[in-house]
Amino acid sequence: MNILDGKKTAQFYKDTIAAEVAALRAKGSRKPHLVAILIGSNGASETYVASKVKACEQIGFESTLIRFETDVTEETLLAEVHRLNETADVDGILVQLPLPDHIREDTVTLAIDAEKDVDGFHPESLGRMLLGLPGYVPATPKGIMMLLDYYNVDTAGKHAVVIGRSSIVGSPMSVLLSRNSKPGNCTVTLTHSRTVDLRYHTLQADIIVAALGKPLFLTADMVKDGAVVIDVGITRMKDESLSKGYRICGDVDFDAVAPKCSWITPVPGGVGAMTIAALMQNTLEAFKRRIKV
């Protein structure tokens, strides 16, 4: 069993981006600028946004965090997004999910200028991904592809089973794995909450991507020997023995599944770290397009 070390790999990609930024800065360029909008004070969202801001600092990006109270109106939020769309030195805009119930996610996603859509959630970004055109790929599936690439995991002709069909993880993941590219060229089965006999499917998988948000869901009896297992899940589980009161749990029963795998991602230190690196990559691309490098 080998570990797909997201933390180490993310550092590699971040170092590469930092070197590119330093070279651009030496030629007199401004810094790439990412703006994150955070609504309310959800603990997990706070942590994600803090990691993104920290990564920006590490690699020489400028970052701005804009906060709104939970009762912010959709109108106010959209006005802020439109202002950022028009602000020349803003390269990337992200609105941290989930949003309060009274704000429509689709409306906010559509409001972000597709040129600044570094999360890759805008229909234009998703359409470009489907067509194999240059554009922003959602950060989590993009980060997984970067991880598979870094470790040169052989995916061509393999059967990949993706668990979960969300528009930000499972669905784009299925598209990327099936693309005629390296990594890619998998035969993909996309499974979801209405899939009958999921275990039947996972047992045939050479590659499993678990992205459903149910802690320890994928058990050893669902995985064939030699499989590659990618754990996307992040759930906070109560744990009084830790000072923060919780521990992060993936969708895979790591201790039981890992011995059967050829490759597996840990949680934490797997996909989460790669998501941040992929977001930074998207922001650098947005910046380079805007300054026309």
Q: CB-wise, 184 or 270, nearer to ligand NAD?
A: 270
**In whole angstroms, how close is the CB of 76 to ligand NAD at the nearest point?**
25
**Which residue of the set 5, 119, 231, 253 is catalytic?**
119
Q: Name, in order, each residue with C-beta under 8 angstroms of 258's C-beta and a sequence gap of 6 or more.
A: 1, 229, 264
Q: CB-wise, 179 or 214, nearer to ligand NAD?
A: 214
Question: Is 119 assigned a catalytic role?
Answer: yes
**In whole angstroms, how close is the CB of 286 to ligand NAD at the nearest point?**
19
**In whole angstroms, how close is the CB of 87 to ligand NAD at the nearest point?**
27
Answer yes or no: are the C-beta atoms of 120 and 142 closer than 8 Å. Answer: yes
**In whole angstroms, how close is the CB of 8 to ligand NAD at the nearest point?**
16
Question: Is 96 assigned a catalytic role?
Answer: yes
Q: CB-wise, 80 or 172, nearer to ligand NAD?
A: 172
**Which residue of the set 52, 116, 142, 158 is catalytic?**
52
**Which residue of the set 14, 91, 96, 231 is catalytic?**
96
**In whole angstroms, how close is the CB of 272 to ligand NAD at the nearest point?**
4
Q: CB-wise, 87 or 195, nearer to ligand NAD?
A: 195
Question: Is 52 assigned a catalytic role?
Answer: yes
Q: CB-wise, 155 or 265, nearer to ligand NAD?
A: 265
Residues near ligand NAD (CB under 6 A) are 140, 163-166, 168-170, 191-193, 195, 198, 211-214, 232-235, 271-272, 275
- Active-site positions read 52, 96, 119
